[in-house]
Structure 1
Amino acid sequence: MGRGLRKLMAGGGATTASDSDCDTFSIFGPFHLTSIDWTNSYYRTSVASSLVNGVYTLEGDRLEKRVGSESLANPWWEFFNFTLLETLIDDDGAIYGAVFEYNLYNLYQNTPNVKVPHHVIAFRGTVLKGKTWKSDMKLNLKFSFNNLHHGGRSLHAVKAIRSMVEKHSESAIWLAGHSLGAALVLLAGKTMTSVGYLLESYIFNPPISTIPLEQLPGGDKIRGVFQIAKTVVKATVAMALADHQLKEDDPRTASWIPYLYVNPADPICAGYIDYFKHKTFMSEIGAGLIERTGARQSVRSLLVGRKEKASMSDLSKEPLHLLPSADMTVNKNKPTKSTSAHGLHQWWERDSSLRENWESCCIRPYPEDKLEQLTIQ
């Protein structure tokens, strides 16, 4: 799940920009942002997504053996005054992440109420080139079976994040990821939350291991009935197999508010829209606790009676999409010949008229089992 799926997600015989164009900042990047207003969410989103694309390009440079003046990666962070501190490398030598430092951070030290990162740790998604695709697809399979926390890349990524948190204030460390990299950010964010660290996170087109009801025919009512029935069945079976109790969310997890970026035309991440709609509806009818209990179990695990294997790690083991809180941006623009619903580039959209079709949704738990209203047409 990542850049390798870009052409497949474009649909039909549509054409998209070539991989070399995607790697070339002067052609494909947000070069219109000659200065950064950190108080503006669009600017923060553009910078975070550009750094993630920088990780894609680092791996592209490695695979294509582009070195020196032929390397294309540096402009993706240098344009915004970031320095590459460290590359995160998988066992097979693939670059899957990077740690960036913002050179102008000290200028904002005494500026209150302005979100500015000191460091950004960014993760790319799937690359279907060279030998990289093998390790990436293995992780995609782990994600599909809710086993991402068993992956060596996951352990390595969280270790790198913890190391940065120990050296610096967590309030100045941001996480960012796209597709499979977004899943890593969800896993790392939940893991760090469990030990008291709430890292600002930018999560682009995150995969969700549920049926994308947004893509199914039948209308909202039929999809809603299906979702309610599925939740009740899962909650009932889960209680029967466990301790017969409904469990509340961990309040620490509820305090973490990641930024999610989804497109309803992207089946990989569209399920988040339906997930939060359903979560809000169940809360409104007083069934929020049932919804949370059912959400903790996958249909697959209940059908086969699979129990969680013992893990040597302390990474979060709950379903990654289980989020009590989020700030979600929905890009309601339809894919075109030059854009993809799963593409990272949509999140630094230069056309302000197209950005007007972005819809912001704030999901927060409220007392007495109430959630903020979520309406997405």
Structure 2
Amino acid sequence: MLKRNCQHHRRSVAASLVQGVYVLECERQQNHQGSEVLAPPWWEFFHFELIRKLVDDADSSFFGAIYEFKPPASNQDSNAPKFVIAFRGTITKKESLTRDLTLDLHIIQNCLHRSSRFEIAMQAVRNVVSAAGSSNIWLAGHSLGSAMATLAGKNMAKMGILLETFLFNPPFFSAPIERIKYKNVKQGIRIASSLITAGLSVALTAHHGKPVSEDSFALLSSWIPNLFVNPGDHICSEYIGYFEHRRNMEEIGAGYIERLATQNSIGDLFLTAFGKESEPLHLLPSANLTVNLSPSPDFRNAHGLHQWWKPDQHLQSKQYIYR
């Protein structure tokens, strides 16, 4: 039975289904057949069935999968998701590397939504939601795949459809402030950044009437995705400081400034000033943030998906709600 109310089990299931997509693509590239195929146990163990592979139209790679939960008749669970849509991250193998790296660059440039891969993913999400209803669907992704799931989840949330979402090592590209060892220096940089960002936001409000992102950010506040990050992973570790800084600013009475700053990035505000509207993918109003405090020997382990199904990790979870 899928133990939906057990946080470790939910996390492990979501991570395993994402791993299934990784294995599917690796086996496609290696042309595995028959007894060589190793992907199915990643979903069959939890009584899921693979009903569709999501195929990139540029390189024919498998970048996602749609799973349907089909438990034995004796283990029916009305709280379990009917469908899970999972997205893999970057694979460093020659047949998919170029396309994956191009999309990684799209994340940095905040233009992932313009890619054909995302259009395929978004249409798949819409179709499943239309068929099954939002309460029966999970989104899950790792790294690049978590960016896909984030964008899909945001788009659905703007329509009032809140999907349960699991984001493993989601990209947050910014200056690596979280890696600074001195707490006071780190806090000072974050406060200065918030003041600059809020100031630019106010200036644009005076010019345009209101910040471009204000309405959409408020709409997203009821959507609470589950984020899983590791302090040793510079790709996602800035989420730790991003959310904690908001709480700190509230405590010192600067909550209004931070509410302006948290929904914008300096780079995107400059683009807006020049008439190029851009909504930062990585900025989220609310989240359940889980941090893996277990020591990671290197970046590969800190960024690895495998850490999220291990039972012996030192995890710390906090909920952040935007108000």
Fold shared per TM-score above 0.5: yes
Of the structure 1 ranges 161-170 and 205-214, higher mean CA displacement relative to structure 2 is found in 205-214
1:151 CA drift (Å):
1.4
Query: Quick one: which of 35, 38, 43 aligns to 2:4?
Result: 38
Query: Quick one: which of 111, 114, 131 aligns to 1:150?
Result: 114
Distance 2:199 2:298 in 1: 46
1:210 CA drift (Å):
1.6
User: Residue 235 of structure 1 aligns to which amino acid in structure 2?
Assistant: A
1:361 paired with 2:322, answer: no
Contiguous gaps of at least 5 residues in structure 1? 1-34, 310-316, 367-377
Distance 1:209 1:338 in 2: 16
> SS at the partner of 1:76?
helix
1:283 CA drift (Å):
2.4
1:117–1:268 distance in 2 versus 1, CA, 3 Å: same
1:200 paired with 2:164, answer: yes
Task: Find the counterpart in structure 1 of residue 189 from structure 2.
Answer: 226
1:100 paired with 2:91, answer: no
1:122 paired with 2:86, answer: yes
Q: How does 1:267-346 map to 2 (within 5 A)?
A: 267-302=234-269, 305-308=273-276, 318-336=279-297, 340-346=301-307
Task: Find the counterpart in structure 2 of residue 262 from structure 1.
Answer: 229
Are the aligned partners of 1:180 and 1:207 in contact in 2 as well (CA < 8 Å)?
Answer: yes
Contiguous gaps of at least 5 residues in structure 2? none
Distance 1:54 1:343 in 2: 14
| CA distances 1:327-375 after superposition (whole Å, capped 9, x unpaired) | 1111001113797000000001133xxx3x2101111235xxxxxxxxx
Task: Find the counterpart in structure 2 of residue 16 from structure 1.
Answer: none
Task: Find the counterpart in structure 1 of residue 46 from structure 2.
Answer: 80
1:318 CA drift (Å):
2.5
Are the aligned partners of 1:192 and 1:199 in contact in 2 as well (CA < 8 Å)?
Answer: yes
> SS at the partner of 1:100?
strand
Task: Find the counterpart in structure 1 of residue 96 from structure 2.
Answer: 132
Distance 2:205 2:149 in 1: 29
> SS at the partner of 2:152?
helix
Distance 1:286 1:248 in 2: 24
Task: Find the counterpart in structure 2 of residue 67 from structure 1.
Answer: 33
Give TM-score scaled by structure 1 length. Answer: 0.78
User: Residue 231 of structure 1 aligns to which amino acid in structure 2?
Assistant: S
Count of matched residue pairs: 317
1:284–1:181 distance in 2 versus 1, CA, 3 Å: same
Are the aligned partners of 1:52 and 1:122 in contact in 2 as well (CA < 8 Å)?
Answer: yes
| CA distances 1:298-341 after superposition (whole Å, capped 9, x unpaired) | 333445655436xxxxxxx6222322211111100111379700
| CA distances 1:175-226 after superposition (whole Å, capped 9, x unpaired) | 0000000011111111000011000001100000222212124x11111111
Higher fraction of helix:
2
Of the structure 1 ranges 168-177 and 241-250, higher mean CA displacement relative to structure 2 is found in 241-250
Distance 1:175 1:203 in 2: 8
Q: How does 1:13-32 map to 2 (within 5 A)?
A: none
1:345–1:251 distance in 2 versus 1, CA, 3 Å: same
Over the aligned positions, Cα root-mean-square deviation in angstroms equals 2.3
Distance 1:105 1:172 in 2: 18
1:250 CA drift (Å):
4.1
Are the aligned partners of 2:172 and 2:238 in contact in 1 as well (CA < 8 Å)?
Answer: yes
User: Residue 5 of structure 2 aligns to which amino acid in structure 1?
Assistant: T
Distance 1:52 1:45 in 2: 11
1:288 CA drift (Å):
2.8
Are the aligned partners of 2:169 and 2:229 in contact in 1 as well (CA < 8 Å)?
Answer: yes
1:234 CA drift (Å):
1.6
Distance 1:266 1:349 in 2: 17
> SS at the partner of 1:341?
helix
Give TM-score scaled by structure 2 length. Answer: 0.91
Between 1 and 2, higher relative CO (CA 8 Å, sep ≥ 6) is seen in: 1
1:236 paired with 2:199, answer: yes
| CA distances 1:247-280 after superposition (whole Å, capped 9, x unpaired) | 4774431111111100011101100000001111
> SS at the partner of 1:243?
helix
